[in-house]
Amino acid sequence: MKQTDVVVIGGSAAGIPAAITCRRHYPEKNVMLIRKEKQVQIPCGIPYIYGTVNSPDNNMIPDGVLSNNEIELLIDEVKSIDKTQKIVSTANGEEVRYDKLIMAIGSEPLDLPIPGLDKKNVFTVKKEVNHLNKMLDAVNDAKDIVILGGGFIGVEFADECKKNRDANVTIVELMPHCLMLAFEEDLCIEAGEALKERGVNIITGVKLEEVNGDESISSVRLSNGQELKADLLIVGVGVKPNSKLAADAGLDVNRGGIVVDKNMRTSDDNIFACGDCTSKTSFFTGRQIGLRLASIATMEARIAGANLFSPRRHNYGAVGVFSTAIGDKVFAMAGLTEDLAKERGYEITCGEAEAPNRHPGGMPGMSKMKVKLTFNKRTGEIIGGQIRGGSSAGELINTVSACIQKKMTFDDLATFQIGTHPAVTASPIAYQLVNASENAIKNMR
C-alpha cells in the first residue's frame, strides 16, 4: 500500500491549484495527485481548439506545473474512498493511504431527455483529448453545425466553428437571447448582433425537441416546428457535479454537489473538496447557487489547500465573475445583474458610463468601453457591474470584482484612485467606473 500525507483527486482547474497551494503552505508534506486523464486540457480553452488554436495539443496544461512543485502524479481512476481507514482505491488496484484528502473531481455534461442524442455526430463537451479530437474531425467535415445552448460554451463554439470554415453554424437557445444567465439584456442583444455579423445564425425562444437521422444526425426538430438541417450537433447546455464518489463514501452531498463548509471541508474532517464537484453558495445571499466556473474552482482550491492542516482562509461564497470575447469585443460581468438584484429583494440604484478606452480618442487601439454598475441603495455598496469594451475589459471586470468583494460604496468608487494613461485607458475625467458610480448616485434622486 502506498502512503502519502495528502492525496488530491482530480487534475484540472481545482486539483492543480489545490495541490500547489498545499505545497506552498505545507512544504514538509508529501502531496500526490491522482487523475484519470493522461493529459489535461485547459477547460476554458476548449472552444478555441475549433478555430483559433486548432488542436487539443495546443490547449494542454503541462505536467510541469506538478513536477516543478514536487507533486507526485498517479494516472489512475479512484473508485472508492474508505474514510475510516483513510484509504483511496483505484481502478488499477492501487491503494493509497492519506492523512488529508482533497476531492476535485469536477463535473460532467447534463443528460438531456431529448430523443436521438445517441446518434453519430452528436457531441457533448467533455474535457477528454480523444473526445475533443474526434469532435475536431467532425467539425472540420461538417456543413451544417447546430449548437444547442447559447451560454458561454455555445457562443464561443459557434464563433470558433465559423473561423476558416464555410459551414453554416446555428445556435439554438431556449431564452430570448444568448448569454441571458450571465448578462443584462442590452449586452445579450449586442453580443447576439456581434455573432450574427460574424456569420452565426441564432434561433432563440425554442427548445430542441428531437435529433433526426439514421445512424448519423441529419437534422434537428425545434419546438416551433422548424426542422434544421444538421450534420453535427454540439450540446453545450450545462453540467452536473460529479458527486457519486463522495456519496458512495458516505459524505454529505446535495443536488449542487459535495457539501462543504466555509473552510472547504466536507462532512468528514480529513476530506476537503473544491471546484465543480462542490455545492456552492452566493456571496450576496448565502443561498445555494448553480454557478460553475474555472475561476471559482481555483479560488476554492486555494482555500482548501491552505486549510488542510490548519484553517486560515474562508470561502465567502461566489461573486460570479465572467468574461467572453466575440471578435474584438469583450463582454464581462461581476456579481448581480439589475434584474437578479431586484429578484433577490435589493432596492438598487444603477449608473452607466461610456467613454473611449484611450485618451485622446485618436490614440491607436481606441474602442468605446461601457460600464454599468448596480448598488444597494440602502448601504451604497456595489453589488454588480457589467462591461462591454476592448480586451482590457477582461481586467477591468476584476477591478469591479475587488470592489464588490470589499463592499466598496458608490462614494468609494467615485473617488477611487485610478491610474490612467493615454495609450491604455480612458482619461481620468471620463474614467468609466468612476462616472458610472457618480451617475448611480445622481439616479437616486
Q: What angle separates helix 393-405 from helix 432-442, to the nearest 10 degrees?
A: 50
- Considering the rule CB under 8 A, would residue 411 count as an interface residue with a second copy? yes
Helix (DSSP H) and strand (DSSP E) numbers for the chain: 11, 30
Residue 294 found at the interface with a second copy (CB under 8 A):
yes
C-alpha cell at 35: 487523475
The distance of closest approach from Cβ of residue 54 to a second copy in the complex, given in angstroms and rounded to an integer, is 8
Q: What is the signed CA dihedral for 260, 261, 264, 270, rounded to 10 degrees?
A: -80
Phi and psi at residue 272, to the nearest 5°: -110, 160
Q: Which stretch binds a second copy (CB under 8 A): 121-129, 131-139, 163-171, 319-327?
A: 319-327
State in angstroms the smallest separation of the CB of 366 from a second copy.
11
Q: Which range touches a second copy (CB under 8 A), out of 107-115, 161-169, 223-231, 295-303? A: 295-303
**Set of cell numbers at residue 321:** 465573475
Among 265, 292, 302, 388, which residue sits at the site for a second copy (rule: CB under 8 A)? 302
* H helix runs in 218-276, sequence order: 244-248
When asked if residue 309 is in the footprint of a second copy (CB under 8 A), the reply is no
For residue 306, give every residue at least 6 positions away whose Cβ sits within 8 Å of its Cβ, in sequence order, or none.
21, 22, 25, 312, 313
Judged by CB under 8 A, does residue 115 bind a second copy? Answer: no
Query: What are the phi and psi torsion angles at 239 (to 5°)?
Result: -135, 160
181 forms part of the interface with a second copy (CB under 8 A): no
Compute how many residues bind a second copy; rule: CB under 8 A.
88
Looking at 193, 339, 343, 395, which residue binds a second copy (CB under 8 A)? 395
Q: Minimum CB separation from a second copy for residue 282, in Å?
A: 12
Looking at 4, 21, 121, 278, which residue binds a second copy (CB under 8 A)? 21
Instruction: State the binding string over 412-441 for a second copy (x if CB under 8 A, else -).
Output: x-xxxxxxxxxxxx-xxx-x-xx---xx-x
* Residue 267 interacts with a second copy (CB under 8 A): yes or no: no
Tell me the closest approach of the beta carbon of residue 323 to a second copy, in angstroms.
4
- 89: helix, coil or strand? strand
| Least CB distance to a second copy at residue 208 (A) | 27
- Residue 414 beta carbon to a second copy: minimum distance, rounded to whole angstroms: 5
* Strand 78-82 relative to strand 87-90, pairing: antiparallel
Please, which residues have CB within 8 angstroms of residue 17's CB and are 6 or more apart in sequence?
A: 298, 301, 302, 305
Closest CA to 13 of 40, 34, 48: 40
| Contact of 385 with 333, CB cutoff 8 Å | yes
Nearer to a second copy by C-beta: 56 or 192?
A: 56
Site for a second copy in 325-384 (CB under 8 A): 325, 330, 332-334, 359-360, 362-365
Q: What's the Cα-to-Cα distance from 175 to each of 133, 156, 159, 192, rounded to whole Å?
A: 30, 17, 19, 12
**Nearer Cβ to a second copy, position 231 or 381?**
381
**Closer residue to a second copy (CB): 20 or 139:** 20
Query: Judged by CB, which is closer to a second copy: 253, or 306?
Result: 306
Measured between alpha carbons, how far is 254 from 441 in angstroms, rounded to an integer?
41
Residue 324 contacts a second copy per CB under 8 A? yes
Does residue 296 touch a second copy according to CB under 8 A? yes
Among 124, 298, 349, 386, binds a second copy (CB under 8 A): 298
Could you say which residues in the range 42-101 bind a second copy, by CB under 8 A?
Answer: 42, 44-45, 48, 52-53, 58-61, 65
Instruction: Using only the alpha carbons of the chain, give its radius of gyration.
Output: 23
297: enclosing H helix or E strand: helix 294-307
